[in-house]
């Protein structure tokens, strides 16, 4: 009884194979979403099946979520990112009450009730501020890889504040800081604090409470997790592999015969 879950994101496509008999994840991987998301998923699936030495006959159900979910009408279930991230996070942390998911193009905050159900959520998919795109822009300006931002920010010794809530204007502020010889480490930390404040502001209308999980690809940035925790006054729980929680949820929920 193996379920397949796919999360086709704006930046990366993720795959999970979940063994229902054992109640555990048995394979996960992700690749950059290419021009053809279907080709990215095909490659992921072929590699997964080869790695586990199984074939399509071993897959009982297939669930898909993410930006590209409607490209896969053959899936047993086409699911919202909200329900999938909730299911994936609850699998690892059954007592979670709030989920912060920051992806390449959006940010979602999900509140979970005491019965493990989605109670409410808020989402930002209109502005780059508070998303992975803003961090990518920062890394580009600072001349480093996006994966290096976290370590860079931990070397910060001075607090600087970005006043703009718009990513375009914030980029202009960053350019101004660079022209004023502000250290790259201080700029990186100021950006993380800005994103954290943006997320906290987004949560203002949500009845959230701890424990709080930080998930999605951007959760790999530990310094941003630190800044979020500081703004919220609580410790962030970060899954071992936060990139694949949505795909895991898609696998777990793949027997639900409905499209969202």
Per-residue pLDDT of the chain (260 residues; tens, 9 = 90+): 899 999 998 889 999 999 999 999 999 999 988 778 899 999 999 999 999 999 999 999 999 999 899 999 999 999 999 999 999 999 999 999 999 999 888 899 999 999 999 999 999 867 777 888 899 999 999 999 999 999 999 999 998 988 877 777 888 899 999 999 999 999 999 999 999 999 999 999 899 999 999 999 899 999 999 999 999 999 999 999 999 999 999 999 998 866 55
Q: Kindly state the DSSP code that residue 235 receives in the 8-state scheme.
A: P
> What is the per-residue pLDDT for 259?
59
Q: What is the CATH superfamily name and number for domain 1-93+242-260? A: ATPase, nucleotide binding domain (3.30.420.40)
Distances (CA, A) of 235 to 55, 111, 207, 211, 230: 42, 16, 18, 8, 8
> What is the per-residue pLDDT for 258?
60
Considering the entire predicted model, what is its pTM?
Answer: 0.92
- Percent helix, strand, coil in the chain, to 5, is 45, 25, 35
Query: Directed axis angle between helix 184-202 and helix 222-232, to 10°?
Result: 50
| CATH architecture assignment, domain 96-238 | 2-Layer Sandwich (3.30)
Closest C-alpha to 92, from 157, 148, 24, 4:
24
Which residues share a beta bridge with 62? 4
Residues of the chain with CATH 3.30.420.40: 1-93+242-260, 96-238
CA distance 48 to 34: 18
Which residues share a beta bridge with 7? 14, 65
Residue 239 · residue 101 · CB < 8 Å: no
């Amino acid at each position: 009884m193996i379920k397949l879950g796919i999360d086709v994101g704006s930046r990366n496509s993720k795959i999970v194979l979940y063994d229902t008999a054992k109640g555990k994840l048995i394979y996960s991987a992700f690749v950059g979403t290419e021009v053809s998301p279907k080709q990215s998923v095909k490659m992921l699936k072929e590699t997964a099946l080869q790695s586990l030495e199984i074939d399509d006959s071993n897959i009982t159900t297939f669930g898909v979520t993410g930006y590209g979910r409607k490209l896969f009408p053959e899936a047993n279930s086409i699911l919202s990112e909200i329900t999938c991230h909730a299911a994936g996070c609850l699998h690892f942390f059954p007592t979670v009450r709030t989920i912060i998911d920051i992806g390449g193009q959006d940010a979602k905050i999900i509140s979970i009730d005491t019965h493990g159900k989605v109670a409410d959520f808020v989402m930002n998919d209109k502005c780059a501020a508070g998303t992975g795109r803003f961090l990518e822009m920062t890394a580009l300006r600072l001349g480093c890889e996006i994966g290096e931002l976290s370590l860079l920010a931990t070397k910060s010794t001075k607090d600087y504040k970005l006043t703009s809530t718009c990513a375009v204007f914030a980029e202009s502020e960053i350019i101004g800081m660079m022209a004023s010889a502000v250290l790259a480490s201080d700029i990186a930390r100021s950006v993380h604090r800005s994103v954290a404040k943006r997320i906290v502001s987004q949560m203002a209308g949500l009845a959230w409470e701890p424990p709080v999980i930080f998930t999605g690809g951007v959760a790999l940035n530990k310094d941003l997790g630190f800044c979020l925790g500081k703004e919220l006054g609580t410790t962030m729980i970060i899954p071992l592999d936060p990139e694949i929680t949505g795909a895991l949820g898609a696998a777990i929920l793949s027997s639900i015969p409905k499209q969202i």
